[in-house]
Amino acid sequence: MIEVKNLYKTYQMGDIKVEALRDVSLKISTGEFVAIMGASGSGKSTLMHVLGLLDRPDAGQYFLAGTEVTKLTDKELALVRNRLVGFVFQQFHLLPRMSALENAELPLIYAGKRHLKDRAAKEIEEVGLKDRMFHKPNEMSGGQQQRVAIARSLVNDPPIIFADEPTGNLDSKSKEEIITILKKLNAKGKTIVVVTHESEIAAHARRIISMRDGQIISDKIISGEAKTSEIAFSENLVKDILSKSSSTVKGGIEFLDYLRQAISAMLAHKMRAFLSILGILIGVAAVIAMIALGRGAQESIEKQLSSLGSNLLLIRPGSPKVGGIAMQSGSTTRFTFQDLTAISKLTDMIKYISPSVTSRAQIVYANKNWNTQAEGVGVAYEQLRVATPTVGRFFSEQEVKMRNKVVLLGTTVVRELFGSANPIGETIRINLINFKVIGILPQKGATGFRDQDDTVLVPITTAMYRLLGKQYIDQFYVEAKSPDLVDPAQEAVTKILVKEHHIAAKDAEDAFQVRNMSDIKAAMESSTKTMSLLLGCIAAISLLVGGIGIMNIMLVSVTERTREIGLRKAIGANNKDIMTQFLIEAVLMSFIGGVSGIALGTGVSVLITLFSGWAVKISLFPILLATTFSLIVGIVFGLWPAQKASQLDPIEALRYE
């Protein structure tokens, strides 16, 4: 079963080289019960580690079941170790968070045989622990824990059992129980190799190998015990295991096992896992709340901008300078309906045009009165400034021509004069003149210190000739047919006004102003997007800090669980298994933090709306973004600790204090 030739193993301890094995050659047949004895530092444990595929020799050859294994990869060694070797350690190395049954099942997980978990229960019964099957290690005695370790070593039915000082920490009664179990296993054909320094333990073996200073000094057969019948094995046993493994596609049950192990580890260290989750939770919640706040502000601004109209030009009289002194607006250039007619002819560029005159006015209804802004406009104002009434109607061209005394009220005026009553059809007095209410304007909110809803609209002709007594138009609203025509329309309007008012081109800027509202709109939208991006970046930084917290916690976890990692490797876990488990653990914490963060972020956004009145908008994109980013954080920041865990040497890990 085992044959080694000229093995050498040297350890570097600072500046000193320690030769743990020196020219060791040995053969162990199938079904033997061998005890390897020697003082501390004699090399017996190193030899067992090499024979058990936990360590590699510096030189020499090792044939296991007729196949040389010294040149196998770490992954292949882990696979062979899982199938052919069972370990029983002096320190038991049971995972404290798992029951006896779950500890015994561990080798099945790495063998892809979780469906054979009944075998673990059977082995627990075989070692006499049926009634302690679901107890955790801290609820069992030392002897019981060692029996669980023996059951774990047998669950994959390996032909070889290595026991490293299996009775070293036990009382006399427990020692006898463990030796009895090992002898029964040997009687069933298992090859038993026990490392011990106790002569009374070695006396139970059929063969005793003594070591000193890394060399075998004696190898003798103990008489008086019948030789165990050997079990035949295939000379291609190792090759068969490797070939079957390469052709086996591992399914989802393996992932579920990884997930189960990760959840178990998190539950075993609740506070540590909670702190890791908390960092991601706060980060994701911040991302969602900040982006929702930014998008809400953006929508609020866009709503206000939409009230201005799209592709809008605003034409006002200028403030000319005489002797360096700015004169009153409109003192030299005054707009008339003739200008309106001339500009209206630009039908290839202009979609709508509306004149406007404004003034403050006193409004009275019954025993209530209110001072507001009265504006006279044309019919096209409804489309230009998105002023379609929510209740009632807009005035018509006929009403403009006839200078009818009809009025549309802003929502603020309605509230102050009518409260909750319906004003449609009622008569109000504007500057002592009776007007009939025909509509209520849509709510537009406030811009700066001005309430856009504190206004009334009347026909332009009515305002000029009946209400305000104005002979000239204050300004024009012009809407271009498309965004591409805004600049050409602005140039065309400028040329018409220069021509109509006989103004020199160089004086046009002082004579009148043509303001492009698209520039203002674009600037405000750009500012809002910048604000949203800034808020998102700040939140992303908090998410990044949460990721660093996960990495820190996982690095601590790797250190705390070093011996566990060593155990898992000893029972067949390869580097990929260890890395996958730790990575899933990190991603799982990130995912839980992400989902919790979504709930918290959504709740915070709602609370902001309820208590502050700020506009927020929760959309699917930031939720998906935050969740995806949290998973990426789990992968990226969990990768290094997982990689570090997977690269641990099993021997050093098992010895870690």
- The answer on 627 and 531 residing in a single domain is yes
Supply 524's token pair: 């405000």
pLDDT over threshold 60, residue 251: no
Q: Which 3 state secondary structure label does DSSP give 287? A: helix
Q: Does residue 143 surpass a pLDDT of 80?
A: yes
Give the contacts of 243 (CB within 8 A, at least 6 positions apart): none
**Strand, helix or coil for residue 394:** coil
**Selection from 38-47, 168-177, 464-473 with the highest mean pLDDT:** 464-473
Domain end point (choices 216, 232, 248): 248
Tell whether 192 and 244 lie within a shared domain.
yes
Report the mean per-residue pLDDT for the chain. 81
pLDDT digits (tens, 9 = 90+) for 407-444: 999 999 999 999 989 999 999 999 999 999 999 999 88
Residue 385 clears pLDDT 80, i.e. is over it: yes
pLDDT of residue 518: 64
DSSP helix, strand, coil percent of the chain (3-state; round to 5):
50, 20, 30
What single DSSP character describes residue 465? I
The pLDDT score that the predictor gives to residue 311 is 78
Based on the fold, state whether residues 187 and 282 are members of the same structural domain. no
Task: Tell me if 227 sits within 8 A of 237, measured CB to CB.
Answer: no
Instruction: Note whether 195 and 221 are same-domain residues.
Output: yes
Digit-coded pLDDT (tens) for 68-91: 888 888 888 888 888 888 888 878
Taking a C-beta distance cutoff of 8 angstroms, is the pair 79, 239 a contact? Answer: no
At 56, which CATH number? 3.40.50.300
- Looking at residue 448, what is its pLDDT? 56
Q: What does the pLDDT average to over 205-232?
A: 74
Q: What are phi and psi of 450, to 5 degrees?
A: -105, 130
Together in a domain, 554 and 492 = no
Q: Fill in the amino acid letter for 270.
A: K
Q: Is residue 447 included in any domain, yes or no?
A: yes
What is the token pair recorded at 486? Answer: 């805004």
Which of 215, 231, 248 marks a domain boundary?
248
Residue 513 lies in a domain: no
What value does the mean pLDDT take over residues 139-152? 86
Task: Please state, in angstroms and rounded to a whole number, the distance separating the CA atoms of residues 377 and 467.
Answer: 13
Higher-pLDDT residue of 222 and 357 is 357
State the Cα–Cα distance between residues 477 and 265, nearest whole angstrom: 69
Higher-scoring residue by pLDDT: 15, 393 = 393
What's the pLDDT at 259?
A: 81
Answer whether residue 111 is part of any domain. Answer: yes
pLDDT reported for residue 319: 65
| 316 occurs within a structural domain | no
Q: Please check whether residues 278 and 203 belong to one and the same domain.
A: no
Last residue of a domain, one of 207, 224, 248: 248
CA dist., res. 365 & res. 46, Å (int): 104
Q: Where are the alpha helices (DSSP H) in 155-198?
A: 172-187
Strand, helix or coil for residue 352: strand
Query: Is 25 a residue whose pLDDT tops 50?
Result: yes
Q: Which residues pair with 363 in a beta bridge?
A: 370, 430
Q: Is residue 306 pLDDT above 60, yes or no?
A: no
Range of the domain at 537: 256-303+524-655
Domain-embedded: residue 215 = yes
Instruction: Give the model's pLDDT for residue 657.
Output: 59
Mean pLDDT of 310-337: 68
171 token code pair? 């009382």
The pLDDT tens digits for 505-541 are 777 777 888 887 666 666 666 777 777 777 667 767 7
Residue 179: pLDDT over 90: no
Same domain, 630 and 481: no
- pLDDT class of 398 with cuts at 50, 70, 90: very high
Residue 328 lies in a domain: no
Residue 399 has pLDDT above 70, yes or no: yes
* Beta carbons within 8 Å of 89's beta carbon, 6+ residues apart: 149, 164, 165, 166, 570, 654
Q: Is the pLDDT of residue 229 over 60?
A: no
pLDDT at 330 over 50: no
Residue 11 pairs in a beta bridge with 18
Assess whether 270 and 240 both reside in one domain: no
pLDDT band at 252 (very low <50, low <70, confident <90, very high): very low
Q: Are 44 and 211 in contact (CB under 8 A)?
A: yes
Distances (CA, A) of 561 to 96, 582, 641, 652: 11, 11, 12, 12
Give yes or no: residues 103 and 160 share one domain. yes
pLDDT at 326 over 60: no
Per the structure, the count of domains in the chain is 3
Please tell me whether residues 492 and 639 are part of one structural domain. no
Least confident of 56-60, 260-264, 400-404, 521-525: 521-525
Q: Which pLDDT tens digit goes with each residue over 616-638? A: 767 777 777 777 777 777 777 77
Query: Please, which pLDDT band fits residue 388 given cuts at 50, 70 and 90?
Result: very high
pLDDT of residue 426: 95
Identify whether 517 is part of a domain. Answer: no
CA distances for 601 relative to 130, 256, 294, 630, angstroms: 50, 30, 13, 14
Is the same domain home to 477 and 567? no
Phi, psi of 484 (to 5 degrees): -70, -20
Measured CA to CA, the distance from residue 326 to residue 324 in angstroms comes to 7
Strands 475-480 and 312-317 turn out to be antiparallel
User: Taking Cα atoms as reference points, which of 215, 214, 216 lies closest to residue 19?
Assistant: 214
The angle that helices 562-570 and 575-612 make with each other, rounded to 10 degrees, is 140
Evaluate whether residue 127 is within a structural domain.
Answer: yes
Average pLDDT for 448-467:
89
Beta strands in 237-367 (DSSP E): 312-317, 321-322, 325-326, 350-365
Query: Which amino acid is present at 199?
Result: S
DSSP 390: S
Asked if 38 and 102 sit in the same domain, the reply is yes
Helix (H) / strand (E) containing 433: strand 433-440
Amino acid identity at 341: T
pTM listed for this prediction: 0.60
